[in-house]
Amino acid sequence: MAKIRVVGIGPGDYEEMTVKAVNALNACDVIVGYHVYVDLVKEHFPDKECFTTPMRREVDRCKMALDMAREGRDVAMICSGDAGIYGMAGLIYELLGEDDSIEVEVIGGLTAATSGGCRLGAPLTHDFAVISLSDLLTPWELIEKRLDCAAAGNFGIVLYNPRSIKRRDYLQRACDIVLKHQPPETVCGVVRNIGREGEAAEIMTLSELRDYDADMFTTVFIGNAFTRVIGGRMVTPRGYKDV
Ligand code: SAH
């Protein structure tokens, strides 16, 4: 039966790919993905045929992958981080519907929240919410509501897609919503280019984060009311008792 694997490749470096993801890419005939992700993995799988598509052509990319699978090729569709977190896994299932002529296997990966979190210290040791600031597919009002609810619930918050060319002030707006519930000194962190060239992590306050110039390869961490800096690391205590 035709088969497609939807593979999360982790943040970027080979060491942070799961063994299962490596095995999947070794087993496939072709690798399909956004060119940045294909560039990250292709040196480790030199004999594989690769097909790239530009960003924002997600539906085309998935259709291309499904067509190749229908032609009888063993396809791996790669996504950064985890394929099911703002990735292509759901879209593949949606496009296939009840068509069971293609077997789908989703292979999990290390998402930016966890790969970035460990660069900062241990910011996610208690409950946290993951929110994307991209309003391409979600109305901004709903994003604001989710930010408000997460901050009201004293969740740690991880922000994906904090910035794009058209959305310059979204991080600032997000911080303003959190500032309604949390003080400006709240411990925050940013990690850029996790596992890629130019990787950098920085700890700052919520008011500093408000003015931070994030790019599209940045993941943002907003601590909860108990998050502290310990030994230069961003740490959210596991319990809320004083230790
Ligand atoms: N499926 C991916 C998320 C894709 S959404 C995952 O599970 O990680 C794209 C957003 O993810 C980026 O805007 C950024 O906020 C975050 N991101 C993904 N990879 C990253 C990396 N290597 N370094 C920093 N942030 C990253």
| Superfamily for domain range 113-235 | Tetrapyrrole methylase, C-terminal domain (3.30.950.10)
Confidence at residue 167, expressed as pLDDT on a 0 to 100 scale: 76
Tell me, what amino acid is at 138?
Answer: T
Question: CA quadruple 186, 141, 171, 87: dihedral positive or negative?
Answer: positive
Confidence at residue 59, expressed as pLDDT on a 0 to 100 scale: 87
CB of 129 closer than 8 Å to CB of 31: no
CB of 135 closer than 8 Å to CB of 205: no
Q: Is 99 helix (H, G, I), strand (E, B) or coil?
A: coil
Tens digits of residue pLDDT in 103-156: 999 999 999 999 999 999 999 999 999 999 999 889 999 999 999 999 999 999
Domain 2-110 CATH assignment equals 1.10.10.10: no
Closest residue by Cα to residue 208 from 184, 236, 230, 179: 184
Residue ranges per domain, the chain? Answer: 2-110, 113-235
Closest residue by Cα to residue 13 from 34, 43, 50, 58: 43
Confidence at residue 55, expressed as pLDDT on a 0 to 100 scale: 66
Ligand 1 atom closest to Cα of residue 82: 7
Tens digits of residue pLDDT in 151-177: 999 999 999 999 877 878 999 999 999
Q: Is 134 in the pocket of ligand 1 (CB under 6 A)?
A: no
Confidence at residue 241, expressed as pLDDT on a 0 to 100 scale: 67
Angle between helices 58-70 and 89-96 (to 10 degrees): 60
Ligand 1 atom closest to Cα of residue 160: 15
Strand 187-192 versus strand 156-160 pairing type: unpaired
DSSP assignment string, 114-183: HHHHHHHEETTSS-EEEEE---SSS-HHHHHHHHHHHHHTT-EEEEES--BTTBSSHHHHHHHHHHTTS-
Q: How far is the CA of 160 from the centre of ligand 1 (A)?
A: 6
- Could you give the CA distance from residue 130 to residue 198 in angstroms, rounded to a whole number? 24
Q: Is 219 in the pocket of ligand 1 (CB under 6 A)?
A: yes
Neighbours of 237 (CB within 10 A): 16
Token pair in block for residue 169:
């002030």
Mean pLDDT for 211-228 is 96
